[in-house]
Amino acid sequence: MTGCESFSPSLLSLFKMILNLTSFPRSGNSFFTTTLLAFDRDWQTLDGDILVFQPVRIFAGEQKSLDFPRSEYLFPQQLDANPVERIEDPDNLFLYKRHDHPDDYGGPRIYIVRDGRDVLVSYAMHNLIHREAQARIDVNVEPDHVQILSSMDKDEFLTELERLIQTSAWGEYVTAGVDHPNTVAVIYYEDMLRDPIAAVSSALLKCGYIVDQVREPPSFKELNSELPWFYRKGKSNDYRAWMPHNLLQQFNDIHGAALGKLGYTNITR
């Protein structure tokens, strides 16, 4: 990985306004942004194709709160200029959270990596939860995401997991992200679990941002208590409880080279 010193002055000036925080889905973008709450800076995020200007700092003084403020949604057709030009305070860093392919956009980025086996297990559950929730919404039934998770059909889960293993292109996607010339810092989800403050502050330092911790961020346990279906486990190697041998073998056949390149042990059990 290269440091910020390898970028042109014009690209470095962009760091003062907007920085891509990117990963394959279910790899830790949201956990990264909640960790930002620990630092002495006001942050904002832009989220996905619909731009979301959302203050990430959610504390009132030293009182910690998990009540996120309402976001201001700005649809692309409402924008009369590049979103970077809408940022008035040059000292305020905006993180653009995104999951599109690393080759599909420009600009500097922090890239989050997670064990692909855990990623696809989490992604399969995420898809099934949202699919069932939407089905209930369509018939005017309020979805209970926790109940949906607890009653998930195992065969349906395994079918979705196999589909993702075969079609998600996880290995190609993350390899492109790690190797991309605009990737300034690579951060591992597993390192965030062990020490989120150290992992996130190290990534920001590589981007030219020195931050001081002024409070404790919400722990994964607290996040789980608020959104247990979204912040589900917060641990590594969870795939061992969910991915049977035949699917592990499929994963290794398709994504094993990328898994090894990223430093994960390529095992079938």
Q: Which domains are delineated in the chain?
A: 4-261 (3.40.50.300)
Tell me the β-bridge partners of 94: 18, 44
More confidently predicted of 162 and 18: 162
Round to the nearest angstrom and report the end-to-end CA distance of the chain.
31
Q: Are 81 and 121 in contact (CB under 8 A)?
A: no
Question: Which amino acid appears at position 245 of this protein?
Answer: H
Tell me the β-bridge partners of 23: 112
Rounded to two decimals, the pTM is 0.70
Q: What is the pLDDT of residues 213-243, one digit of tens each?
A: 777 777 767 776 666 656 666 677 889 988 9
Question: Which amino acid appears at position 148 of this protein?
Answer: I
Which residues, at least 6 apart from 150, have a Cβ–Cβ distance to it below 8 Å?
A: none
Question: Which amino acid appears at position 28 of this protein?
Answer: G
Which tokens is 130 given?
A: 């949202």
Which tokens is 230 given?
A: 């979204």
Task: Specify which of 33-42, 136-145, 170-179 reaches the highest per-range mean pLDDT.
Answer: 170-179
Pairing of strands 94-98, 44-47: parallel
Once rounded to an integer, what is the mean pLDDT over residues 33-42? 71
Q: Are 98 and 8 in contact (CB under 8 A)?
A: no
Alpha-carbon dihedral sign for residues 27, 131, 231, 48:
positive
Once rounded to an integer, what is the mean pLDDT over residues 72-88? 37
Q: What's the CA gap between 98 and 177, in Å, rounded? A: 12
Q: What is the DSSP letter of 99?
A: -
More confidently predicted of 152 and 191: 191
| Helix, coil or strand: residue 264 | coil
According to the model, what pLDDT value does residue 149 have?
66
